Amino acid sequence: MTFDEIKQLDDTYVMHTYGRFPVAFDHGKGATLFDVNGKSYIDLTSGIGVNCLGHDNPKLVDALTEQAHKLMHVSNLYYNEPCARAARLLCEKSGMKRVFFGNSGAEANEGLIKIARKYSYDKYGEGRAKIVTLVNSFHGRTVTTLKATGQDQFHKYFYPFTEGFDYAVPDDLDDLKAKCTDDVCAVLMELIQGESGVHLLDPAYVKAAAAFCRERDILFLVDEVQTGIGRTGALFSYQKYGVEPDAISMAKGLAGGLPVGGFAVNGKLQDVLGPGAHGSTFGGNPMSMTAACVVLSEVTKPEFLRAVEEKGEYLMEKIRGIGSPEIAEVRGMGLMIGIALRDKEKRAAFVNRLLENGVIVLTAGADVIRLLPPLVITREEMDTAVEVMKKVF
Ligand SMILES: *Cc1c(COP(=O)(O)O)cnc(C)c1O
């Protein structure tokens, strides 16, 4: 099909919930994508932080091809080896004790919310179910995770939302303490706020918040959906921050491109959800879990994580080096990078010009261009992208 044919079909039959760019991708290799007309693009998005091992990764494709021939799905009523192996890898490399697998980030956060509430209910009874999240957070688009998201713009239309959330100002420990009233069972935060603009929390704040929660038996939960799976140069961002959450959610990069989500918990929470308390039809399916095993084996290698760190530093320095007056700040950790613009009105034009010139990027917040390239991006691909940025900015 030509691009116009695809677009017409999509516009006719698919709900218009996304503002799509006028491109249909056909295939990719590493951090390079090709559209249906054969034009190539440097991919600085990896989906939205999903294709961490790049496109057409041979290890991933081979493992999935083999698994597809063997078995694509069995229910969670039975054991399957890839699921057990992926869970072991996650626990061994994170220090967590047990994992639950689902299908998406929102669902992973729903799991955190459920386990936090049940932990508290089991121990303290009713009336201690509130969860404090941060202003400008993003936790998903289900009716509950929209409410967990600390941005008023997400609290519209879909009433009634799930009760039991309050919002603390990021990096303000006094505000967090004030919001942690006696009815609070957990605090949930992204350590780098992704959707709202790539805002890195202050490590001193994160450490103090974790310690405060521990003292009060308030669970400290970290949303690692975007920051996890090697993105920041550690398997999970909390490892960079030097804190030990009670539980974390993950999704995006975990299966390198297949749908997956999950949450991992420490010893305190490992037995809170027993038989019948939680479940998912597709969760832990052999295809996503085979992919997760490949991804986790790769991204937990120390040299792989070091390379992510180095690439991140390289790319940020190069973008700063453009010296464009349009750029107010370049910030990030590993390959999670935000380019804050001086004039947010120009952002759409920049993004479109980058696309026309063969570089695709994401946005975040009101004034940020966000980069989440495949973790396997090469120097050459980064250099090409920066040359285009130089021209566009
Ligand atoms: C993307 C994202 C989610 C939602 O994940 P979905 O898979 O789209 O449901 C939740 N939290 C954070 C931090 C995210 O970046």
Compute the distance between CA of residue 227 and CA of residue 231 in angstroms, rounded to an integer: 6
Q: Tell me 264's DSSP state.
A: E
Compute the distance between CA of residue 78 and CA of residue 147 in angstroms, rounded to an integer: 35
Compute the distance between CA of residue 249 and CA of residue 115 in angstroms, rounded to an integer: 12
Query: Does residue 190 have its Cβ closer than 6 Å to ligand 1?
Result: yes
Give me the pLDDT at residue 226, please: 98
19-41 CB burial, b ≥16 within 10 A, e <16: eeeebbeeebebbbbebbeeeeb
Which residues have a Cβ under 8 Å from the Cβ of 95 and sit 6 or more positions away? 244, 266
Query: Does residue 140 have its Cβ closer than 6 Å to ligand 1?
Result: yes
> Which strands, in side-by-side order, build the sheet including 362-364?
327-333, 336-341, 368-371, 362-364
Give me the pLDDT at residue 53, please: 98
Interval between CA 106 and ligand 1 midpoint (Å):
6
- pTM above threshold 0.95: yes
Give me the pLDDT at residue 163, please: 97
Interval between CA 251 and ligand 1 midpoint (Å):
7
Interval between CA 282 and ligand 1 midpoint (Å):
18
Compute the distance between CA of residue 237 and CA of residue 159 in angstroms, rounded to an integer: 33
Compute the distance between CA of residue 204 and CA of residue 197 in angstroms, rounded to an integer: 20
Query: Does residue 223 have its Cβ closer than 6 Å to ligand 1?
Result: yes
For the chain, which ranges sit under pLDDT 50? none
Is the CB of residue 193 less than 8 Å from the CB of residue 199?
Answer: yes
All structural domains of the chain: 3-56+302-392 (3.90.1150.10), 71-299 (3.40.640.10)
* 248-297: pLDDT as tens digits: 999 999 999 999 999 999 999 999 999 999 999 999 999 999 999 999 99
Give me the pLDDT at residue 40, please: 98
Give me the pLDDT at residue 69, please: 98
Give me the pLDDT at residue 55, please: 98
